[in-house]
Structure 1
Amino acid sequence: MSESKLVAEKRTQFGKGAARKIRRADKIPAVMYGHGTEPVHITLPGHETMMALKQANALLTIEIDGKEELALAKDIQRDAIKPVIEHVDLVVVKRGEKVTVDVPVHVEGEAAAETVVTVDSQVLQLEVEATNIPENVIVSVEGVEAGTQIHASQVELPRGAVLLTDPEVLVVNVTAQVTAEALEAELAEAEAEAGIEHEEPEAPAEGEAAPAEGEAAAEGEQA
């Protein structure tokens, strides 16, 4: 994994007003803590921080007054509407230390024809070295037939990683593609169970011929 270096500044003003002022200056308020140290309130450069945090579990080198600390983003608060980070909680880590992280699942390959691949677990929780966090775990479905289920215990993990997620958790499920006929039959069965009935088109009176399509259209225009 790659490391990103961010030069931070200590902050002495707090509260909503101070936070808004920081954001207007294209910076992000943050707090860094861990390893028995007192929390340090800092500001981070806005653009550089947003780019660094695009990657899940990004390892950050935070420089404060010439001193560097390694940290992971523990919590990222984002604006509900704007693409803006409002606040970041950082936890200090050490090289060689083991950390617990949620790593995204990435599916590769093409399953057998007429199948549907569903990812039931988007992430797996792993214990890994802080300086060796994988960007994702890869699950191959190349040529996999319908009916195949891949559980957490079957996922190949990066070297040195330990699975913390329940081994029986379903990660990927491969099922047969539903045909249009099967879908219609399922819909009809559901409607029957719900008591939904469709009215049959009225038959023409005795001796009266059904109007041709063109005649029916003409009558509609006249009306």
Structure 2
Amino acid sequence: MNVRTLSPLDRLLVGLERALETVAGSPEAARPSPAARIEETELDDAERRHAAGLMRINHTGEVCAQALYDGQAALARSEANREHLLHAAAEETDHLAWCAERLKELDSRPSLLNPLWYAGSYAIGALAALAGDPVSLGFVVETERQVEAHLEEHLETLPAQDQRSRAVLVQMQEDEVRHAENAKERGGIELPFPIPGLMQLSSMVMKKVAYRI
């Protein structure tokens, strides 16, 4: 059986398709939502708006994660690391779909600025890949550490009775920890100063904007 090797043009077209699906499409999860078997509970208007704002942030974070992985995979130095990045991106697709579903349940919508978030994150991923696989994997480690931390914040501030959103965030957090550990095991390095701080600053801006827009 012949296995076709994708050309740079093929990868570009696949990347464009993934970008459109991430930003404007309805991605399908390979795994059932962790909230599937949890009953919906009553939330007042303020609680619903807050839960929706948090889930919008997380949805945008998953858009950024998809873009980061796509940019890194497109320019990865080794085929093994490319496959590793694409596998992690597939799990992030689950997160994206779960967050989108939860936003609909909360009568809300994703961030209107998701195309901008995607473009910026893709560029960062591509630049990281150009610096070599150890740096690229180091970006994965640092990104997932920061995502894990902000998910912990959301779990603390989420309305206590919103168990459906909580179940989604808990599973996402477990996956992010594993992604960071896997990237570190594959040779991801600690990023030098001031890169982690700049990443944290950009994340703070994204969270403040995505919560409302």
Q: TM-score range by the shorter chain?
A: under 0.3
Instruction: Identify, as 1 or 2, the structure richer in strand.
Output: 1
Instruction: Identify, as 1 or 2, the structure richer in helix.
Output: 2
Q: Which TM-score applies when normalising by structure 2?
A: 0.25
Q: Which TM-score applies when normalising by structure 1?
A: 0.24
